[in-house]
Chain A
Amino acid sequence: GESVGLHLPTLSVQEGDNSIINCAYSNSASDYFIWYKQESGKGPQFIIDIRSNMDKRQGQRVTVLLNKTVKHLSLQIAATQPGDSAVYFCAENVSFKAAGNKLTFGGGTRVLVKP
């Protein structure tokens, strides 16, 4: 498969350990945030989202934390598995007039799970 990017920061994690991926966003007007996972040769896959009126949201094995004070977002993956190996992107949304919105993606973090 092809690489999404040649110079992505990489997080190596042992299978079974927890992973934390961090993301700094730029726009204080962003009202909604999403984490995506992208495997080689595929489109981004939705993992979890959080609205700006929340600071934590949990899904299955994943937790997203939002700190609006420092414009920081993190994704925690519990008990990381080989299938979690991928590139992870955070995205921030700014809404315009009714049904108008724009997602801005971060540069991505490559997660490598070691067996």
Chain B
Amino acid sequence: DSGVTQTPKHLITATGQRVTLRCSPRSGDLSVYWYQQSLDQGLQFLIQYYNGEERAKGNILERFSAQQFPDLHSELNLSSLELGDSALYFCASSGTTGSVPNEQYFGPGTRLTVT
């Protein structure tokens, strides 16, 4: 158990809909990262938040957005869903401070199926 929690475990929804994925980082970790894992694209970095602020952005679609709240939990919002958004979505957290990166610990993931 990494200490990172994600809800829900599974989500099935229709095209065009909007969903929210939730992540609670390990106790004390200020950085939260979101990743998408699909069969054809592998693990792709989406976005990073550090203590409530966006710090790095990857291949995140404009239909997707995220935020980190004062209690450090994070939410990833996916809207206007398409079939191709079906994937595993992982959250990771780390105790990165300053400019020194540290290991990221991954949650169990949310499996999103868009029908």
Contacts and interface: CB of A to CB of B under 8 A. Distances in A.
Contacts of B107: 43
Contacts, number: 78
B42 to A, nearest CB: 5
A98 to B, nearest CB: 5
B49 to A, nearest CB: 10
Interface size class on chain A is: 20 to 34
A101 B97 CA distance: 11
A41 to B, nearest CB: 8
A34 B103 contact: yes
Given A34-B104, A99-B97, A105 B43 contact: yes
A18 B109 CA distance: 31
B101 A93 contact: yes
B105 to A, nearest CB: 6
Interface in A61-115: 89, 91, 93, 95-108
Interface in B73-97: 90, 92, 96-97
Contacts of B90: 43-44
B58 A102 contact: yes
Nearest to A4: B37
B2 interface: yes
Interface size class on chain B is: 20 to 34
Most buried by A among B31, B100, B101, B103: B101
A89 B90 CA distance: 15
B55 to A, nearest CB: 4
B101 A101 contact: yes
Interface string B10-48: 000000000000000000001101000101001111001
Q: Which 6 residue pairs of A and B lie closest in terms of their CB atoms, listed nearest first?
A: A43-B106, A100-B55, A105-B43, A99-B50, A100-B56, A101-B101
Given A32-B101, A43-B108, 16 more contacts: A34-B103, A36-B106, A42-B108, A43-B92, A43-B106, A49-B103, A91-B43, A93-B101, A95-B99, A96-B55, A98-B99, A100-B55, A101-B56, A102-B48, A102-B58, A105-B43
